[in-house]
Amino acid sequence: MEKIYYTITEVAEILGIKPHIIRYWISEVPKLQKNSKKGKSLHFTAKDLALLTKMKELIYEKKFTLEGAKEEMKKRESLDDTEPTLIKIDIRSELLSIRDLLLKRSKEN
């Protein structure tokens, strides 16, 4: 079953980065600011995860600065290439759920 919203802790685990980095990116990327707040806590959609995954790729793998990554994201906005990223996120989320279930069962035994 696909989740509708992810918490910042889940997003940090999926992306393999610290929550404070995600919070900083939210403060810097307008597209994320309006989508991530639900009440007082942060909630992220699969589309938000796709954007954050692209940010991580540009900054950590392609060595863009934050400003450079934001510019690159603006250039890519017209291209709708988020679908493969969404599939990867769904797969990773499922794998993390399976891992958690296996860890829970191994502790019970």
Evaluate if residue 103 carries a pLDDT over 70: yes
Structurally, at CATH architecture level, domain 6-108 sits in Orthogonal Bundle (1.10)
Q: What is the pLDDT of residue 19?
A: 94
Q: Which residue has the higher pLDDT, 61 or 1?
A: 61
- Which two structure tokens, joined as six digits, stand for 10? 């889940």
- The ranges assigned to domains in the chain are 6-108
pLDDT at residue 50, rounded to an integer: 86
Of 21-25, 79-83, 104-108, highest mean pLDDT? 21-25
Summarize pLDDT for 20-42 with one digit per residue, the tens.
999 999 888 877 766 555 566 78
Q: What is the pTM of this model?
A: 0.65
List the structure tokens of 59: 């900054």
Residue 16: count of CB within 10 angstroms of its CB: 9
